[in-house]
Amino acid sequence: MGPSTSTHDSCRRDHSSLSSAFKRLEPMVTGATMGTKQQDPPPQVKKTVKLTLSISKQPRLISLRNIKNINPATLTACINSSCLPDIQNLSTPDDLVSHYNTGLLNILNTLAPLKTRTVSFTVSAPWFTPALRLMKAKGRQLERLHRKTGLTIHKEMYNNHMSLYKDSITSTKTHYYSGIITANQGNSKTLFSLLNNITQPQDSLPSHCYTTTFCNSIMSFFTEKIKNIHQQLGSIPHLNISTDWHPPTHPFPTFHLPSLSEIAELIKQSKPSTCQLDPLPTQLVKACSHSLVPLISAIIHSSLTTGTVPTSLKTATITPILKKPGADPSDFNNFRPHI
């Protein structure tokens, strides 16, 4: 009983001493308030969202011709043998232009037939040469070899080849764009268009914008828009303006047709741009101009003599371009016709 009583007494003394200590401290802590225990915020519910994204580029079908491999001497021989002999049998401008388009297109299909290819890239690179394509394939071979063996020598071979490939791309692009800039000196429109294509990505339109139905719809829209403008101009009252008519003082009894040398000079000074309706690229026409001058001169002389323009030359290609990047292509008012 002794130890038990002693323990109980010691606990009682400790309790009384603590009570007296709190009583002495009570005047000093009268301004304090008892704080409540802050409750933890409710746990946030995290939900997992699963989705499937297709990050692979969709392949597309393109058409191309290998124009660079056409030999000007071979092209000239084909023109002399197939296009020139039949000029004397043709007289009307329409017949001459039809002979010009058909003959040159047949020659182009023979020397550079149209090929189709499935590609995965979205932006074309006209500066990409066959030599760069071979270097790219060689780089893939070295990469597969390095992954297969893991040897240091194969890694060095791959790195050296890729460094050479990058330098070749830089020099090829520089040569390509320098040639375009040199050929279009003074043509600010072409130079600004080239700079815009390099610095700004082109707007990619949906696939349905390239269908025949969409093209016919947008053609009907602009045709109707032109008709409305004509009607508005026709409703404007005509102003009665009195003009004094003076008879011509210098008669013009004869009309001199341009000579072959003058037409050859006009072809030489023409722009290098090519239209989609041209049967032969302009660069090839200039390269073989000495063989095509008789046929082109016959078309010009026949048109000036008869006072008519060939029907096929009255057709133009119109490329719809969005007025602002990111505009809605379903609204035809957002397009600007570009000839």
Residue 289 near residue 268, CB atoms below 8 Å:
yes
pLDDT digits (tens, 9 = 90+) for 82-93: 877 777 788 899
pLDDT digits (tens, 9 = 90+) for 135-154: 999 999 999 999 999 999 99
Looking at residue 41, its pLDDT comes to 58
pLDDT digits (tens, 9 = 90+) for 8-17: 444 444 445 5
Residue 87 near residue 96, CB atoms below 8 Å:
yes
166 token code pair: 């990058």
pLDDT digits (tens, 9 = 90+) for 18-75: 455 445 544 444 444 444 445 555 656 566 777 676 666 677 788 888 888 899 999 9
Question: What average pLDDT does the chain have?
Answer: 80
Mean predicted confidence (pLDDT) in 160-170: 95
Looking at residue 34, its pLDDT comes to 46
The domain ranges of the chain are: 70-112+126-229+257-338
Confidence of residue 195 (pLDDT cuts 50, 70, 90): confident
Expressed in angstroms, the distance from the first to the final Cα of the chain is 117
Looking at residue 82, its pLDDT comes to 83
pLDDT digits (tens, 9 = 90+) for 26-40: 444 444 444 444 555
